[in-house]
Chain A
């Protein structure tokens, strides 16, 4: 069965450029999450979608970060005017229902972003 997929797997970009990261959740999963893991750091929560709406955007590090989800499925995380500190592995996860229900999340392989 298909798991969570993310693209691209690796992205190298120049400082100041915009990047778009894509996540395809498991079919039927209503909740979708974005995290990032910087070198030597734990998982940092970025944003969570329940369906197409994002009840919690508090984790987005700055207004350069935005995310959307359409059709209750695919999500894109956009980083504008990338900075070197944005370099990290960006992980997407999905679950059957939201965090309130305590459903475990299934993670994608991540997108490794390097800003030069």
Chain B
């Protein structure tokens, strides 16, 4: 069962522009959401998170937006840099588990 979905397998943006990565979830019991970044041959690293009681969390160039009614969250990266090129995983946690999306491969072109 895919409780967390990232429908775009890839995204390509120009350096300096905004990157928007989307994530949808189905389980209304999820109460914490996280984004991870993964470079090839490395494990994912934590990027940013948001609690279900908030609708926005910002950390430098990264902002996560949560729309609970739509069960949708997005990660905005602005301005995008070539070093941001990686696979981004959305994750949602509930009472006893954490589910990940399939990932979106972001390519930032110089």
B82-106 interface mask toward A, CB cutoff 8 Å, 1 = contact, 0 = none? 0000000101011111111111000
For residues 52 through 108 of chain B, which have their beta carbon under 8 Å from a beta carbon of chain A?
Answer: 89, 91, 93-103
User: Could you say which residues of chain B place their CB within 8 Å of the CB of A100?
Assistant: 93-96
Establish whether residues B93 and A42, one from each chain, have CB atoms under 8 Å apart when the complex forms.
no
CB distance from B7 to the nearest CB of A (A): 12
Establish whether residues B43 and A55, one from each chain, have CB atoms under 8 Å apart when the complex forms.
no
Establish whether residues A108 and B100, one from each chain, have CB atoms under 8 Å apart when the complex forms.
no
Q: Does A67 contact B (CB under 8 A)?
A: no
User: Could you say which residues of chain B place their CB within 8 Å of the CB of A56?
Assistant: 96-97
CB distance from B62 to the nearest CB of A (A): 14
Q: Does A104 contact B (CB under 8 A)?
A: yes
Establish whether residues A106 and B46, one from each chain, have CB atoms under 8 Å apart when the complex forms.
yes
Given contacts A100-B96, A102-B93, are A42 and B101 in contact (CB under 8 A)? Answer: yes
A1-35 interface mask toward B, CB cutoff 8 Å, 1 = contact, 0 = none? 00010000000000000000000000000000101
Interface residues on A, range: 20 to 34
For residues 69 through 116 of chain A, which have their beta carbon under 8 Å from a beta carbon of chain B?
Answer: 91, 93, 98-100, 102, 104-110
B20-64 interface mask toward A, CB cutoff 8 Å, 1 = contact, 0 = none? 000000000001101010000111111001010000000000000
12 contacts between A and B (CB under 8 A): A33-B98, A43-B100, A45-B98, A45-B100, A48-B98, A58-B97, A98-B96, A102-B31, A102-B32, A105-B46, A109-B43, A110-B43
Which residues of A does B touch, CB under 8 Å?
A: 4, 33, 35, 41-45, 48, 55-56, 58-59, 91, 93, 98-100, 102, 104-110
Give the top 5 A-B pairs by smallest Cβ distance, nearest first. A107-B43, A42-B102, A102-B32, A43-B100, A104-B46
Which residues of B does A touch, CB under 8 Å?
A: 6, 31-32, 34, 36, 41-46, 49, 51, 89, 91, 93-103
